[in-house]
Amino acid sequence: MPEAKTPDDASEPIVIKKYANRRLYNTATSRYVTLEQLSEMVKAGQNFAVYDAKSGEDITRSVLTQIIFEEESKGGQTLLPVNFLRQLIGMYGNVMQPFVPNYLETVMDTFQKNQETIRQNFTGVLSKVPGLKPFEDIAKQNMAMMEKAMQRFGAFPGGKPPADKTRGAEPASSNDSRNDELSALRARIDAMQEQLERLAKDGKE
């Protein structure tokens, strides 16, 4: 287990020790902390690593997972849809499991980089237009299309499944069908963006 870091040492994560009694100790502040406080540290952009106080084992992943469980258990607005959780569980032990972490991390990184633009677009439209039923319908259709496309393409690097030499090349008709589906998805996303722009324009007039 690495040495404890002070708050001024931003180059290394803050060390959190977890004891047998399940209490978490922040070595930077010399205070015990709760999961909720660790959650606030994450939201504030503070980097930390959690180690078992006895064995020195890095248990950061399990503690972060526990924080997510606590957040999801609060009720109200949750982040993880049931269908997504089922799909995620289904990937454990799957031949494509090694590719899933990278895929999810890339998707989230992209979302994080663009979240301010996304927030401005959505909050601007929602605050100015009272009736958004057509928009909601389009959004639901897009989500269904994206979910279906992710099931087929998302788990594969580059959007293509690995070659199966025992089965030979994939039929052209299958490739054409998938290309058509992706084209339809892009068209729906473009249509949604155009409607957002129109609604935002109408709201300013």
* Tokens describing residue 139: 């959004």
115 and 197 co-located in one domain? yes
38 found inside a domain: yes
129 and 154 co-located in one domain? yes
101 and 124 co-located in one domain? yes
90 and 190 co-located in one domain? yes
59 and 111 co-located in one domain? no
The total of structural domains in the chain comes to 2
30 and 124 co-located in one domain? no
Give the global pTM.
0.54
125 and 165 co-located in one domain? yes
Q: What is the pLDDT along the chain (205 residues), one digit of tens a residue?
A: 665 554 444 568 999 999 988 899 999 999 999 999 999 999 999 999 999 999 999 999 999 999 999 999 887 778 889 999 999 999 999 998 999 999 889 888 888 888 777 667 666 655 555 555 555 555 556 565 556 555 555 444 444 444 444 445 545 555 566 566 666 666 666 666 666 666 556 555 5
Return phi, psi of residue 76, to 5°: 75, -135
Q: 54 lies in which domain range? A: 14-73
